[in-house]
Each structure stands twice: as C-alpha cells, then as structure tokens.
Amino acid sequence: MRQETKYIIIHCSATRPSQDIGFEEINKWHRQKGWNGCGYHFIIKRNGIIEDGRPTDAIGSHCRGYNHNSVGICMVGGVSEDDHTIAEDNFEGDQWSSLKTLVEELHEKYPEAEIKGHYHFNPDKQCPSFDVDDWAKTELLWILNGRTDLKYLEDNGVKYWRADYERSGRTDETLGPVYGKQWRDFNGVDQLFNLVKGIKQEPNSRRLIVSAWAPHEMNDMALPPCHFAFQVFINDGKMDLMWHQRSADVFLGLPYDIAMYGLLLEMLAKGAGLKANNLIGNLGDCHLYNNHFEQAEEYISRKPYALPWLRLKNGLHILPHRNQDGWTEELHIPEPSDIYLQCYTSHPAIPAPLSVEN
C-alpha cells in the first residue's frame, strides 16, 4: 500500500481518437511490458466512463520515480488520428467532465496532493497532450499589489492598456491613479487591507466594500474605472462577491472581468477559511461593438468544453510583520506560483480589435 500521496498525475493513453479502448486493453498492454497489470489507478474512456485500474491506495506503475507517492489517471486519446507520433488534445467533453469530477474527489481524499501532468516529471514526454496548469492572473495581481505601471503588465503579456495610455497623453509609463492605487491607497486608506481584516473581525458587516471611484483623481487616470466597486457578503460559512461595473465591453472585456473577480472571490474566501459561493455582476452600460458581431456569432456557435478547476496555495490574509519600529500587520498577496488553473482547454482564439472607449 502507498504510504503517502504527494501527486495526482494525469496521463494520456497515446492512442488515436478512433480507438475506443479501456482498462481491458491497457491492462493487456502493461502485462506485455512485464508489469503487474494496469499501472494506472483510473482510466477515463472516450465516452467519459471512469474505469478502475489498480486500487486507489496501491502503488502504481505509471511514472518512474514517483509511483510510490502518486495516483495515476489515464485519459484515453492524446495523439493525432493521422500520425500517432504527434501529440494532440483531442479529448471529448464527457472526458473533461469526468476528469474534473474524479480529481475533485481525489483532492478531497488527498488535500495536500499536487495535480501534475506526466510531462512535469519527464521533459521528453508531451503526455497528457494538454497543459495541466494555466491561468491569466497578471492584472488582478497587479491591482492587488497597488501597481499602476505598464511595465509589469506588458512584461507579463498584458498589452491592451497601451492604447488608453497613449490616448491619455501621459508620458510616465503609468496609467495614473487607477484600480491598484485606489484599492491600496484611497486618500491614504488601504481599502483592501481593511476589507480582509474586516472579513475576519466583522464577517456580518454590511460595509465590506472596496471602491475605485475617486472623483478627485479622475482627471489624472488614463481611463476612469469600468468596474468601480465590489462588496462581500458572508453567511453560513460561505462568501458571495458582487461587483459593480459602469461599462462592459461584452465580447472582449466582460469575460476577463468575470474571471478576475471570480479569482478575487476565491482568494478572499481561501484567506478567510470560507467557501467561495456566488459571484454576482451588477452591470451598467453593456455593449457589443459593431466590429465584434462576427466574432460573437462564432463564439456562441461553439460547443463549450468542461470547465477547468482552480487551486490556490494561499489566499489573501493578514500576517504579523516586524519592522524597525516593532511588530505590525501586513497584507499577504499570493504569488503567481500560488495560483493554478488546471486541466484548462479552449477552442482557438477569436481575434477582435480593441475599441478604445471613455
């Protein structure tokens, strides 16, 4: 029996999508290799059915050097129909749904286990033919840290703010006193720190609010905040978050805002030891630009994939901090490496021009 479980490792069978195989075939192949039967603990067939391999607590035979401390999951598929040497993310929607359910169940049983792909342990492998870790988190971390500079954003691949910056006439390579400035320094008040502290001290308060709407500094901003405030509600160990948005670019901007505030809700709940519950958007002027019509039609014609799942190592929380004047408190902001979006897959990107607005 396995003494510890440090990893949940996801593999693919490296078979063509037309090959409808399962435990029986894999068990036969592994025995032919001289192994003691199927090396995986679970196999997810093309139709989404999960078949048992080895007993969950048994030592597997799926990842050399890590069999003694891991659970192995095999997704059937993973190579091109035309060329079996080419890795290809060709898994079915039912497989993604089953993988999400299975990993969530395993994570409940082994809460400290990290979710990895086979390629994490063997750089020569492309298995399981998709990225197990992925997340667009740059802008939220930029805001949480109180930053307003373009360099951090652009160094991390977020470049769409450049047009608003150039239109504003600014020359200091910042966007002025925008979101991060107001969340962390609204006339000298660190609103985010007060929010996190208030969640712990007065969870039933109706004043758990952060605002970025600062009329006295609006003229210095490259663009007044589109999403300008949010409020947190806590009830029965669950946290809801509602954000307010004056203007929503439905095709390009709104999906990004939903993802950002969803991540913020998860960070706040994690730091407070609560369960993230409802994410609520209160939207003002919602608009689909004329030059986004075709892209929107393409988007709604596509069949969605199963949702990925988020893992946070750390949330937003207050920590004691010692400086030259003695002990004080500071807000701990998660690092990029603390945030994992796992088993994310997507259709090809749909290019659309950014419409610069007021």
What residues are annotated to the active site?
A: 226
Contact criterion met (CB below 8 Å) for 39 and 62: yes
Q: Which residue has the tokens 């192949």?
A: 29
Residue 340: what are its φ and ψ, rounded to 5°? -125, 125
Question: How many Å separate Cα 55 from the centre of its chain?
Answer: 31
DSSP β-bridge partners for residue 114 = 7
